[in-house]
Structure 1
Amino acid sequence: MDHHAILGLYAQGLFPMDDDDSAELPWWVADPRTVLPLDDASRAALRRRVRRSLRARDDWELRISAAFDEVIEHCGRPRAPGDGVWLTPRMHQLYRVLHAAGHAQTFEIWADGRLAAGLIAVTLGRAAMLESMWHRVPHAGNVLVSATLDALARAGATLCDIQTSTPHTLRLGAVEIPREEYERRLADALRW
């Protein structure tokens, strides 16, 4: 699948999640859809929620796509024994195709010169779809979310989609919205 076809599916509000059983890569719709707000007040509230994480070290550094393949590899590993993996080799290939076309990057937190956390983002217009996240250093995941949202807002993004919620993302300020509202926000973000 070329990057135009992949981006066309994202533009329709779909997202990939592999089950390794399907002949074709499955694309999904979530209702409700979960977003992380990018407005100044929401990002300030997030920084307050994760202030302990932000203060845990004084050498947190945000880098973009400095370790793209390493982040994808880590995101594709089971989080715990017995967990399944949805970020399969064909998902790796999808992100590499999008990266080569300038529509996928990794946001990374580095500490002490080492990769501490990373997430995969697909960008299209003023929309960012955060696909998967991984961390190996305590607090680095929270710092990464906060720093990524600040970077996306500075770059002009108006929509940050995380597809579905978890208790942790809801504590960080994620908001579940009806599918129709998500599609309206996505359409607005795709207009320049």
Structure 2
Amino acid sequence: MSPHKQSHSRGTGSADVVGFYDDDTGSIQYLVSDPQTGKGALIDAVMGFDPAHASIDPQGVSKIIEYARDTNIDISWILDTHPHADHLMASWYLKQRLGAVNAIGEKVRDIAELWRKLYHLPDAFRPERDFDRLFGDGETFKIGKLPVRVMLTPGHTLGSVTYVVGSDAAFVNDTFMQPDVGTARADFPGGSA
């Protein structure tokens, strides 16, 4: 998988951002990094799925990992903006493969509870087991030296978050959709316009 779009750092406090388009799901996965330290994060990574064989296919995320290694980016964070019901999340696979910290917004607990009842699957999704960090609204952390602020931005799901990275990058879950140039649907269980 080659980069779909690339936005280079504009100087101190600005991240390098590379988007990787997943054809099967229409999703863009982001590799964001601090050019000063080489530390990076993968945001909303997609795990491939082969429906004919009912099996996962890590080929796409493996190519992103190769790209990171080839460009000397050390992936230290695996971030999701929300639980994805339209594709498999690669978070767990990447955590196992890279040893990086995986994280999502803390309201994923409420989503998990809602989905447990709705789908009658009491043990299918346990955020405390599945993620290392559950971020609250306003929490901060760093990717290398770049500050990251977590913002609760519900709508698409009741627990969607936005990651504001450095001085000029924001990863806004599925609130804005391209190329549609509009807002995303809010019909996931618990979502609200």
Q: TM-score, normalised by structure 1?
A: 0.33
* Greater RCO (CA < 8 Å, at least 6 residues apart): 1
When the two structures are superposed, what TM-score results if normalisation uses the length of structure 2? 0.33
- The structure where helix makes up a greater share of residues is 1
